[in-house]
Amino acid sequence: MQLGVEIGGTFTDLVWLDRDGMVRTGKVPSTPSQIEKAVLDAIESAEVPLAGITHFSHGSTVATNALLTRRGATTGLLTTLGFRDIIEIGTHDKVGNIYTAFYNKPRAPIARRLVREVVERIDAAGNVLVPLDKEQAWREVEILLAAGVQSLAVCLLHGYRSPVHERALRDLIAERAPHIGVFLSHEVSPEFREYERTVTTVVNAFVGPVVKGYVDRLKGNLETAGYAGALRLMQSNGGIMPSVAAGSNAVKMLLSGPAAGVRAAIWFAKRNDIADILTLDMGGTSTDVAIAPGLNARIVPELVVDGLPIRTTTMDMATVGAGGGSIASIDPGGFLNVGPASAGAQPGPACYGRGGELPTVTDAQVIAGLLRPARFFGGRMELRTDLAEKAIATLGLPGSLQDAADAILRMVNSNMAAAVRLVSTARGVDPRDYTLVAYGGGGPVHGAMVAEEVGMRRVLVPWAPGTTSAFGLLVADLIVDLVVAKIELLSDGTLDAASVALLKSLCDEEAKRLDLERGSYEVQAGVDLRYAGQGFELTLWRDLAPATAADLDVQFQKEHLARYGYSRPNLKTQVVNLRARIVQRNEARLATPIAEADPSREQKTIVLDGKKLAATFMARSALKPTESLEGPAVLEEMTSTSFVPAGWRATCLASGDLLIEKIDA
């Protein structure tokens, strides 16, 4: 039996595979003040027999929250003499909006007083120009220890090329201050670009102890509850990793929840013979959108969190502050805004009755009639219409409360549609050729409305959509990414037999460290290429085998043309990095049950787009395989609610998944 638990901003979701190969679910409110408590609450609520579970996969926002709230370990940075201000200076980029006249640079992850310089210098070829002065370095470490640092990041100039001085510093600190965690840039992010490498190393040192502490507490509580199996953690690249790597690889978990959702969306699309998908994951705090042509999600080498560039492989996603808990407000100009601020799990939307007073998207859904208060969360959590009305009224918008709720819903639909365009039309991809996979607590409510806005005609709603991200934990492969800097012009020596042997040895060494059985995994090779002089590169993934420069260049020209709409075969091609990926395939066989339900239907008035409509309300499970229902209709289930607009038809597929299609005029 296998178990997956994913912590979201509002709810914590559980999915487990029982002895019969059937998938079961559970869902409980998240507990932000004591995060691991929600995991145990979900296990207890679902009555999971922990003693029989062999694999436990977990997705968490612990790393992201620690960074966003700046509540990580007190961190110090050791860098090369003369480079103390590399984080303060940053780059010339205006992250998010290059046109704003009121741009504020991202907050530095650590204070300048906690950055110290050491005497040493290595050149770009890896040659030692100035030997490391260990005693001078130790005096700088002592200053940081006196300042109360709990974690140390070490990022020396050209440490990616030759790590000899970084390793010497770690040995020195381990000998004289063994209680301090040390994170080296050549292990965290062995790539050139000094600012990005430094930020990534510092962020890893900042959140690493928090993640490790959380994982240790969780493992202890699970063992007390009877679990003796392996614990694995979801990464931003859509793969899981052993928990032993959590502390040293904390930056790899920053998008663990959304990545798990995309992995599950691909699984559901594949079982329904759907080839090209866009994903819409609407939770309590935000909405994440990704694209997977041919069911291959795009992987990029960097993500940006709170304006900070983090060099780690991640699924290519766009995120907007559009969740069920997103707060509606009136800006100084008198215009309606929705998000990015969120009511979260505590106090949550006003209609939850937990003390929230601000108007949210969920409150608008109640007022518009899309959610029946007595049926929310399978009837386990009744919503307060009176509190929702009181909250919406505080906006002071003209017209009725239904008009105000309608305006909020149209605004949030527009925000999500913009995110869909960002990963599709903005990149030369026509979304009309794709199927939108809508999941999360709110995705199925808004999926068809967002699809209509961008011209899409098909929406797939997976089984138990409110737990899709947790489901992704059960179907994800174990993935470990490694990188080696190699900056040179493309040649036949780029990926020759010697390079392949180097990548294979690195993978074997890492697999041994992670206790992966030899023969249980495969290895892939990646090459980062760009035109000489370009600022960014593309990663080409291949089988781990030698390749000629001509083969690599042909693949690069095709990828560049597909991604950017042009290629320049006459320009020289430059190599930046070699990559290797360990992949241990998930062979789990899963089946999702189709539940029996009350077949009764009810007609109820809803308000959308300024119109009052008579909609059919019924349990989703009452729609049997091959049966269809035309909108407007609302299909209810415990983990979510699916809305079928007028002019659309919902069909229950043989798999039990729901396909919502626009009806031809």
The domains of the chain are located at 2-64+214-253, 68-210, 256-317+434-473, 326-411, 478-584, 602-662
Which fold is adopted by the domain 256-317+434-473? Answer: Nucleotidyltransferase; domain 5 (3.30.420)
Identity of residue 206 = F
pTM of the model: 0.88
8 Å CB contact between 635 and 438: no
Direct distance between the N- and C-terminal alpha carbons of the chain, in angstroms, rounded to an integer: 48
In sequence order, what are the beta bridge partners of 330? 336
8 Å CB contact between 66 and 210: yes
Alpha-carbon gap, residue 287 to 284, rounded angstroms: 8
pLDDT of residue 345: 67
Closest C-alpha to 357, from 379, 390, 308, 385: 390
pLDDT of residue 317: 87
Alpha-carbon gap, residue 499 to 40, rounded angstroms: 46
Q: Helix and strand tally (H, E) in the chain?
A: 15, 34
Retrieve residue 420's tokens: 């869909």
Identity of residue 274 = I
8 Å CB contact between 546 and 497: yes
Alpha-carbon gap, residue 11 to 80, rounded angstroms: 45
396: left (phi over 0), alpha (psi -120 to 50) or beta: left
Residues with pLDDT less than 50, the chain:
none
508 membership: H or E segment, kind and range: helix 497-513
Cis peptide, bond prior to residue 625, ω within 30 of zero: no
For 138-180, how does the pLDDT look when each residue is reduced to its tens digit (9 = 90+)?
A: 999 999 999 999 999 999 999 999 999 999 999 999 999 999 9
Alpha-carbon gap, residue 171 to 642, rounded angstroms: 57
Q: Quickly tell me which residue has 């029989």 as its tokens.
A: 52
> What's the DSSP call for residue 547?
B
Rg, Å, the chain Cα set: 26
**Number of other residues whose CB lies within 10 A of the CB of residue 91:** 11
> What's the DSSP call for residue 22?
B
Retrieve residue 76's tokens: 């110090």
pLDDT of residue 162: 92
Alpha-carbon gap, residue 440 to 287, rounded angstroms: 9
pLDDT of residue 95: 66
Domains 2-64+214-253 and 256-317+434-473 share a fold: yes
pLDDT of residue 630: 92
Retrieve residue 2's tokens: 């296998």
pLDDT of residue 201: 95
The strand pair at 11-17 and 317-320 is best described as unpaired
Which fold is adopted by the domain 2-64+214-253? Answer: Nucleotidyltransferase; domain 5 (3.30.420)
Q: Output the CA–CA distances (angstroms, integers) from residue 567 to 125, 187, 374, 563, in the order listed.
A: 30, 34, 57, 10
Retrieve residue 649's tokens: 């038809």
